[in-house]
Structure 1
Amino acid sequence: MAGFSTVPALLPSLQTEWLLSAGEAGALGGSYFAGYILTISWLSSLTDRLDARKVFILGALLSGAGSLGFSFLAHGLWSACLLQAVAGAGLAGTYMPGLRALTDRIETRMQPRFIAFYTSTFGIGASLSYAGAGWIASQWGWHAAFWIAGLQPLLGGILIWKFIGEKHPAVHPRRSLLHAQWQALKDSKIRHYVLGYAAHCWELFGFRAWIVALLTYSATQGHLPLSAPTLAALVNLVGIPASILGNESATRGNRQRHVIQVMLLSGLLAWLSGFAAPYPWLLILILPFYFGAVMADSAALTAGLLASTSAHERGAAMAVYSLGGFGAGLLAPLSIGFILDFCGGQERASAWLLACGCLGIWGLLHALHTWYRCRSAEK
Structure 2
Amino acid sequence: MTRLLVATVLVFCALYAPQPLLPLLADLYGVSETRAALLITATLLPLSIAPILYGLWLERLSARRVLAGAVALLGVSQIVFALADSFTVLLVARIAQGILIPAALTALMTFIAGRVAAERLAATMAAYVAATVLGGFLGRALAGLISAYWSWEAAFWLLGGGLLALTPLLLRLDGDQPPNAARINWRTCREVFARPGVAATCLIGFSVFFVFAALLTYLPFRAVQLRPETGEDTIALLYAGYLMGIVVALASGRITRWSGSARATVRLGLGVFLLATLGFLVPSLPALFAVMLVFCGGMFLVHGTAPGIVNALAPDRRGVVNGLYIAAYYAGGTLGAWLPGILYAHIGWAAMVSAVALMLLVATAASRGLPGPHSSQSKAES
Q: What TM-score results when the alignment is normalised by the length of structure 1?
A: 0.88
Q: Is the 8 A contact 2:130 2:246 kept in 1?
A: yes
1:238 aligns with 2:244: yes
> What is the CA-CA distance between 1:373 and the residue it aligns to?
8.2
Counterpart amino acid of residue 159 in structure 1? L
Shift of 1:4: 2.0
Q: 1:219 to 1:40 in 2, by over 3 A?
A: same
DSSP 3-state at the match of 1:117: helix
Counterparts of 1:47 and 1:373, CA distance in 2: 26
Give the distance between the partners of 2:74 and 2:202, measured in 1 at CA.
25
Correspondence 1:191 to 2:206: no
Within 5 Å, which residues of 2 pair with 1:197-216?
Answer: 197-216=205-224
Does 1:98 find its partner at 2:108? yes
Deviation at 1:342, TM superposition (A): 1.4
Which of 14, 30, 37 matches 2:25? 14
1:122 is displaced (CA, Å) by 0.6
Matched, 1:108 2:114: no
Structure 1's unaligned 5+ residue stretches are: 344-350
Contact 2:115–2:175, Cα closer than 8 Å, also in 1: no
Aligned AA for 2:53?
W
Q: CA shift at 1:135, angstroms?
A: 2.0
Check 1:374–1:59 CA distance in 2 against 1; reply closer, same or farther (3 A cut): closer
Structure 2 CA distance for partners of 1:205 and 1:59, relative to 1, 3 Å? farther
- Are positions 1:285 and 2:296 aligned together? no
Write the letter of the residue equivalent to 1:279. S
* Amino acid of the structure 2 residue aligned with 1:272: G
Match of 1:258 among 251, 261, 265: 265
Aligned partner of 1:362 among 359, 362, 374: 359
Aligned residue for 1:180? 188
Give the SS at the match of 1:269.
helix
Change (3 A) 1:138 1:51: same
Is the CA contact 2:72–2:167 (under 8 Å) kept in the aligned structure 1? Answer: yes
Q: SS at 1:310's partner residue? A: coil
1:47 aligns with 2:47: no
User: Which amino acid letter does the alignment assign opposite residue 364 of structure 1?
Assistant: L
CA distance in 1, matches of 2:370, 2:133: 31
**Residues 5 and 356 of structure 1, relative CA distance in 2, 3 Å threshold:** same
Q: Which amino acid aligns with 1:361?
A: L
Match of 2:43 in 1: 32
- Partners of 1:194 and 1:320 within 8 A in 2: yes
Structure 2 portions without partners, runs of 5+:
1-11, 375-382
1:174 deviates by 1.6
1:266 deviates by 1.0
Map Cα deviations across residues 144-185 of structure 1 (whole Å, 9 max, x no partner).
Answer: 2222222222222222113x1142336422232x33222222
Aligned partners of 1:285, 1:43: CA distance in 2, in Å? Answer: 38
Q: Which residue of 1 aligns with 2:9?
A: none
* Alpha-carbon distance between aligned partners in 2 of 1:362 and 1:128, rounded to the nearest angstrom: 27
Contact map agreement 1:26 1:336 (CA 8 A) in 2? no
Report what 1:23 is aligned to.
Answer: 34
Could you tell me whether the CA contact under 8 Å between 1:55 and 1:97 is conserved in 2?
Answer: yes
The residue number in structure 2 matching 1:302 is: 307
Q: Equivalent residue for 1:134?
A: 144
The question of 1:340 aligning with 2:351 is answered: no
Contact 2:59 2:184 in 1 (8 A): no
In structure 2, give the amino acid aligned to 1:98.
Answer: L
CA distance in 1, matches of 2:361, 2:161: 39
TM-score when normalising by structure 2: 0.87
- Pair 1:38–1:372, CA change in 2 (3 A): closer
Partner of 2:5: none
CA distance in structure 2 between the partners assigned to 1:195 and 1:161 by the alignment: 34
User: C-alpha deviations, 1:16-59, integer Å up to 9, x for none?
Assistant: 11222232123222111123234222223222112211111122
Q: 1:228 & 1:71 partners in 2: Cα distance?
A: 20
RMSD: 2.5
> Contact (CA 8 Å) 1:203, 1:332: kept in 2 or not?
yes
What's the counterpart of residue 346 of structure 1? none
* CA deviation string 1:281-312 (max 9, x = no partner): 2222222111211111112111011111123x
In structure 2, the residue matched to 1:248 is: 254
Pair 1:89 & 2:99 matched: yes
Cα separation, 2, equivalents of 1:358 and 1:28: 23
Q: Which residue is equivalent to 2:377?
A: none
What's the CA shift for 1:374?
A: 8.7
SS at structure 2 position matched to 1:165: coil
The separation in 2 between residues aligned to 1:250 and 1:373, in whole angstroms, is 13
Task: Report the counterpart of residue 6 of structure 2 in structure 1.
Answer: none
Describe the shift of the 1:373–1:183 C-alpha distance in structure 2 as closer, same or farther (beyond 3 A). closer
State the secondary structure of the residue aligned to 2:183: coil
